[in-house]
Amino acid sequence: MATMNLLNRVGAKLATPLLPNAYAELINPLWGEGVRAKVVAIEPEGPQAVSLTLKPNHRWQGARAGQHVRLGVDIKGVRHQRCYSLTSADSTLSQRITLTVQRHPHGLVSQYINHGLRVGDVVHVAPAQGEFVLPANDEPLLLITGGSGITPVMGFLRQLAEQGWQAPILHWHFAPNAEVSLFKTERQALAKAQGWQLHEAYPEQGDEGFSAAKLDELFPQWRNAHVYVCGPAGLANAVVALHEEEGRGPLVQEFFQPPAIAATGEGGEVTFTRANKTVQAPATTNLLEAAEAAGLTPEHGCRMGICYGCLTTLESGQVRDHAADEIIDTEGALVRICVCTAEGNAALAL
Amino acid sequence: MNTALKLAEPEITPQSPVFGYLNAEELEQFGAEIDAVRQRILSSLDEGDAAYIRRIIRWQRGLEVLGRGALFLGILPPFWLLGTASLSVAKILENMEIGHNVMHGQWDWMRDPSIHSSTWEWDNVCPKEEWKHSHNFMHHKWTNVVGMDRDVGYGILRMSEEQPWHPAYLFQPITNALLASFFQWGVALHDLETDRLRRGERKWSEVKDKWRRIRKKMGKQVLKDYVLFPLLAGPFFLPVLLGNATANLVRNLWSYAIIFCGHFPEGTHEFLPEDVENETQAHWYLRQMLGSANITGGPLFHIMSGNLSHQIEHHLFPDMPSNRYAEAAKEVQAICEKYGLPYNAKPFWAQFGSVMKKVLRLSLPNFSSRSKGPTPQQA
């Protein structure tokens, strides 16, 4: 260990201003900077989705079933990042992980992953995150999922089967129809082998929706169960409301769609999070001017978008970059505040 | 171009053409055409451009590994030559086509944090923060404005008739040769503005943090090239040390030559602070064009010059990926022809010879009232 540290330190001095991994990357792209993973398999998952199997590099710290990762892929030269739930069971250091991506008609990244990504490609992965994880002890579980909300729960099911869960489980899954119901065959086989209850409902085929009465009928002990819900807002809200009234166990919800932000095109409310100030910024005032008007002194240079001396982290919301003529809404993006205006609400790390 | 910038209109009347070339209306049209070139090219960036910079980076790192590896056998002259040459090319590529351009934000559109202006540190004793201030801001915004753009003479040379003469400038040919040989050190100290410190216009306390950062970077670079790699070679300490020193010298001389060809050849305009008061975007474009000069050459020459051979396009579009400057140059040249503007593009030796003549001439006081540039054509 001490030898490794010494080697790393000497390596860094030799490679300065880079790190040795910048050169290791020449031999194997997986040895480059950050957590990276190689796509080792891409398989169709029903008619509208694909499942990816990823082999992460040595920097991957593992993940618990139900957590999500931020996946970074380069599309037309630009890095795009999206969060996806892992569908694999608990994994440690160098174990493979899986995730499933459903195609959205206008989804740039989901379309790319379904059609453009190839086995052998290297993708960027951020460490796994999320509190949507199984309890430590075997206790009754109520799992309610809808559509692609099945993905984190698929990770649960694989983990539960591996562990041999010693408590009753009901999994109630909603999908438009049987054809697009993700992982149907595998879930049915697991439920049969493990003795879990699995209830599939297909509203397009006339099946009834979520209701308290149906839940009582399917799983009378649900009030004492640990409840997990992941699905469209309508379904999730109904489950949460019923649980608030009658549930006695904990409820964990996973969100898989970010809240929509209205783009007004007429400026907006800008929050400078470090200074803890919020101002109204019209579309004609750039963010640097808005910050200065609020008494801040952001670092900057040219005030015309060429020197990049004012790059600031966009923490949330969206801005319009007038020099590049584009809307930037990527959380964590670095923006030139001297040529950006608010486009709806935005928070900056100033 | 940009309503959000709210730049004030300068007082330009049709009777006083800007720098003798364009009236107010023509100037705005010219600005709009230059803007259109920028928008068209930036909106066409794609995976081909991303592949270009990644390929250059791979080549650069590969050449560096090859160079340093060959130098370990540097006791044998062919290996020493191969090693030194590879390392020289690697250092030139790293500083010019990669480092300089990445720090301009040319590749920020890829949103790859490892090739980004906010994180890139280059293989040079000048820290990224000092470089971005003295170069991206001071030089690119106030290009060739005597007294504002500190690259006009770097605070030690007299490169414009507008700079008052002093007997110390008699030694300019020597100072110039020293600057060329130790160019990276000059660049590193540049942002301290030592001439202004000496004159008391700037206090040491103001630059203490800068100096600490510069010293630290210098230490790291010296440790790598002049201590660790030579030590790693054991008995071949000396050939490695000499190879590294030579590669740094070659990079210094080359980057000096290319950079001096960018703004100092005969025919490039100089400006005075009053020229840039309340400057519009179009006016800035015109000034960048007039104050810069290109070097003609083949594709490999352009890459080895970090595409600063397209200095005019680089100054018009400092954040455009460098591999697109050749394409932009064709359009910019056509626009210049249309508006009757000079477009200064000559082979390396013509531009470099003209700069050296200027270095010699300006070491002496002004004998005649020379014009600042060529006689402007009346637009």
Report the gap between the CA of B300 and the closest CA in chain A (Å): 22
d(CA B268, CA B293): 7
Residues of A in Cβ contact (< 8 Å) with B34: none
Strand partners, A199: A172
Residue B209 confidence class, pLDDT cut points 50, 70, 90? very high
Report the gap between the CA of A323 and the closest CA in chain B (Å): 7
Give rounded-to-5 percent helix, strand, coil for chain B. 65, 5, 35
**Which pLDDT score, from 0 to 100, does residue A257 have?**
54
**Which pLDDT score, from 0 to 100, does residue B367 have?**
79
Tell me if A14 and B42 make a contact (CB, 8 A cut-off).
no
Per the CB < 8 A criterion, the answer to whether A37 and A55 are in contact is: yes
Average pLDDT rounded to a whole number, residues A183-210: 96
- Averaged pLDDT score across all residues of chain A: 91
d(CA B188, CA B154): 11
Residue of B nearest to A77 (CA): B47
Average pLDDT rounded to a whole number, residues A284-308: 80
Q: Chain A contact for B42, CB < 8 A?
A: yes
Q: At what angle do helices B204-222 and B183-190 cross, to 10 degrees?
A: 150
Look at residue A296 and tell me whether its pLDDT is greater than 90: no
Residue of A7, A16, A108, A329 to mutate for B, most B C-beta atoms under 10 A: A16
**Which pLDDT score, from 0 to 100, does residue A233 have?**
86
Give rounded-to-5 percent helix, strand, coil for chain A. 25, 30, 40
Look at residue B87 and tell me whether its pLDDT is greater than 90: yes
pLDDT in tens, A211-252: 999 999 999 999 999 999 999 989 999 999 999 999 999 999
The helix/strand/coil state of B13 is coil
Average pLDDT rounded to a whole number, residues A10-16: 94
Q: Chain B contact for A59, CB < 8 A?
A: no
**Which pLDDT score, from 0 to 100, does residue B16 have?**
61
Look at residue B21 and tell me whether its pLDDT is greater than 70: yes
ipTM above 0.85, yes or no: yes
Q: What percent of chain B has pLDDT over 90?
A: 83
Residue B378 confidence class, pLDDT cut points 50, 70, 90? very low
d(CA B143, CA B150): 9
With CA atoms as reference, report the closest residue to A316 among A298, A329, A327, A326.
Answer: A329
With CA atoms as reference, report the closest residue to B345 among B308, B286, B294, B297.
Answer: B294
Tell me the HSE value of B36 on the side-chain side, using a 13 A CA sphere: 9
Residue B101 vs residues B305, B309, B329: alpha-carbon distances, Å: 11, 13, 17
pLDDT in tens, B290-343: 999 999 999 999 999 999 999 999 999 999 999 999 999 999 999 999 999 999
Per the CB < 8 A criterion, the answer to whether B194 and B154 are in contact is: no
**Which pLDDT score, from 0 to 100, does residue B33 have?**
98
Residue B369 confidence class, pLDDT cut points 50, 70, 90? low
Phi, psi dihedrals of residue A201, rounded to the nearest 5°: -125, 130
Residue numbers of B between 64 and 123 with CB closer than 8 Å to A: 64-65, 103-105, 108-114, 116-118, 121-123
Please state which of the ranges A105-114, A133-142, A295-304 shows the lowest mean pLDDT: A295-304
**Which pLDDT score, from 0 to 100, does residue B368 have?**
62
Residue A107 confidence class, pLDDT cut points 50, 70, 90? confident
Question: Which two three-digit tokens encode residue B188?
Answer: 């590193």
Query: In sequence order, what are the residues at sequence separation of 6 or more whose Cβ sits closer than 8 angstroms to the Cβ of residue B217?
Result: B125, B126, B127, B188
> What ranges do the domains of chain A cover?
1-27, 34-125, 141-253, 268-348
Query: Which range, A123-132, B109-118, B183-192, B243-252, has the best average confidence (pLDDT)?
Result: B243-252
Superfamily of domain A34-125 in the CATH hierarchy: Translation factors (2.40.30.10)
Residue A258 confidence class, pLDDT cut points 50, 70, 90? very low
Closest Cβ opposite residue A22 in set B2, B51, B61? B61
Query: Which range, A104-108, A319-323, B205-209, B235-239, has the best average confidence (pLDDT)?
Result: B235-239
Report the gap between the CA of A270 and the closest CA in chain B (Å): 16
Look at residue B97 and tell me whether its pLDDT is greater than 50: yes
Q: Chain A contact for B300, CB < 8 A?
A: no
Closest Cβ opposite residue B223 in set A13, A26, A302? A13
Report the gap between the CA of A128 and the closest CA in chain B (Å): 19
What SS3 string covers A113-179?
A: HHHCCCCCCEEEECCCECCCCCCCCCCCEEEEEEHHHHHHHHHHHHHHHHHCCCCCEEEEEECCCHH
With CA atoms as reference, report the closest residue to B191 among B165, B217, B172.
Answer: B217
Cis preceding linkage at A17, omega within 30: yes
**Which pLDDT score, from 0 to 100, does residue A265 have?**
62
Q: Chain A contact for B62, CB < 8 A?
A: yes
Residue A264 confidence class, pLDDT cut points 50, 70, 90? very low
With CA atoms as reference, report the closest residue to B96 among B270, B261, B328.
Answer: B261
Q: What percent of chain A has pLDDT over 70?
A: 96
**Which pLDDT score, from 0 to 100, does residue A255 have?**
76
- Averaged pLDDT score across all residues of chain B: 91
d(CA B323, CA B327): 8
Q: Chain A contact for B361, CB < 8 A?
A: no
For the A141-253 domain, the top CATH level (class) is: alpha beta
Look at residue B106 and tell me whether its pLDDT is greater than 80: yes
Look at residue B241 and tell me whether its pLDDT is greater than 90: yes
**Which pLDDT score, from 0 to 100, does residue A164 have?**
94
CATH topology (fold) of A268-348: Ubiquitin-like (UB roll) (3.10.20)
Report the gap between the CA of A309 and the closest CA in chain B (Å): 7
pLDDT in tens, B37-83: 999 999 999 999 999 999 999 999 999 999 999 999 999 999 999 99
